[in-house]
């Protein structure tokens, strides 16, 4: 079943006469730079250490805390189908996009189940939450790392509110 319009392997682009299919295959993901950089700044300001990026785990988590066996994913609302009310529904080729986003969600669930089954803890942070409530996202990570409640962390000085 064909879901995208046109024939990507035959249509030529203005980029050296490459077919659309070949051109798109050469584009490498730069990851979700703005949200990841924001979380990096939060982690550094809170003096939280021990995280790594680009660690080879299923699902390619954005941040990995090896000692705590914590995988943190920073998910974009559009690509991972977050129902946050931002009205991110595509207008053109909606059925194909819905299929793509549903596939992303299935892959996210499958990778999360695998990581949990192998002893990892998984934390998913949504792009919109990171933008609106960055300290709440940081508190979630700290709470998981400490394995304690927010009240205990405040008493220990683990988070700044």
73-126 pLDDT tens trace? 999 998 899 988 876 788 888 888 899 999 999 999 999 999 999 999 999 999
For the domain covering 31-156, report its CATH number: 3.40.960.10
> Domain coordinates of the chain in residue numbers?
1-30, 31-156
Q: Which two tokens stand for residue 17?
A: 């006469």
Structure tokens at 24: 């798109």
DSSP-assigned beta bridge partners for residue 36: none
Tokens of 18: 């490459």
Q: What's the whole-model pTM score?
A: 0.75
What are 156's two structure tokens? 């220990």
17-27 residue pLDDT tens? 777 677 777 76
H/E segment holding residue 125: strand 121-126
The answer to whether 72 and 61 have CB atoms below 8 angstroms apart is yes
Residue 77 tokens read as: 């609302």
């Amino acid at each position: 079943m064909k879901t995208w319009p046109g024939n990507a392997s035959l249509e030529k682009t203005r980029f050296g006469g490459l077919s659309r299919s070949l051109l798109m295959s050469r584009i490498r993901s730069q990851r979700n730079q703005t949200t990841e950089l924001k979380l990096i700044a939060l982690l550094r300001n809170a003096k939280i250490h021990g995280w790594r990026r680009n660690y080879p785990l299923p699902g390619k988590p954005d941040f990995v805390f090896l000692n705590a066996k914590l995988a943190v994913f920073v998910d974009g609302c559009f690509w991972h189908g977050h129902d946050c009310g931002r009205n991110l529904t595509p207008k053109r080729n909606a059925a194909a996009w819905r299929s793509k986003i549903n596939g992303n969600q299935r892959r996210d669930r499958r990778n999360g189940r695998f990581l949990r089954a192998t002893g990892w803890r998984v934390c998913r942070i949504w792009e919109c939450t990171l933008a609106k409530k960055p300290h709440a996202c940081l508190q979630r990570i700290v709470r998981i790392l400490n394995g304690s409640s927010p009240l205990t962390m405040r008493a220990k000085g683990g988070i700044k509110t």
